[in-house]
Chains A and B, each alone.
Chain A
Amino acid sequence: MNDQPISEQDKRRRRGLIAFQIVCYGYLLTMFLIQMYMYSTRDW
Chain B
Amino acid sequence: MSYQTTTIAGMSGLDAHDERSRQAQWQADKWMMSGALFLGSAVFGIIGLPLFLRGLALQLKAQKAGLTVRPMMVTLIGYLVAVDAALNSIGWALDMVAHHTLLARVFLMAWGNMFDAGYFWHYNELWIGGASAPGEKAWEIALLPLVFSMRIAAAIGFLQMKRWGHQWLIITCWFGVVAWTGYIANMTIFADVRYTGVVFPVIGWWLYDIFYITPFLALPYLHSVNREIFSH
Chain A residues in the interface with B (C-beta under 8 A) = 10-11, 13-14, 17-18, 21, 24, 27-28, 31-32, 34-36, 38-39, 42, 44
Contacts and interface: CB of A to CB of B under 8 A. Distances in A.
B52 to A, nearest CB: 26
A18 B201 contact: no
A28 B213 contact: yes
B184 interface: yes
A13 B224 contact: yes
B184 A44 contact: no
A21 B213 CA distance: 12
B184 A31 contact: yes
B213 A35 contact: no
Given A27-B181, A35-B188, A21 B219 contact: yes
Interface in B159-192: 177, 180-181, 184-185, 187-188, 191-192
Contact of B195 (A24, A27, A34, A44): A44
A24 B191 contact: no
B156 interface: no
Contacts of B197: 44
Interface of B: 177, 180-181, 184-185, 187-188, 191-192, 195-198, 201-203, 206, 213, 216-217, 219-220, 223-224
B191 A32 contact: no
Contacts of A34: 188
Given A31-B185, A31-B188, A44-B197, A36 B202 contact: yes
Nearest to B197: A44
A25 to B, nearest CB: 9
Contacts of B203: 36
A39 B220 contact: no
A39 B202 contact: yes
Given A31-B185, A36-B202, A42 B223 contact: no
Contact of B216 (A10, A24, A32): A24
B220 A28 contact: no
23 contacts: A11-B224, A13-B224, A14-B220, A14-B223, A17-B220, A17-B224, A21-B219, A21-B220, A27-B181, A28-B180, A28-B213, A31-B184, A35-B191, A35-B202, A36-B202, A36-B203, A38-B191, A38-B195, A38-B202, A39-B202, A42-B195, A42-B196, A44-B201
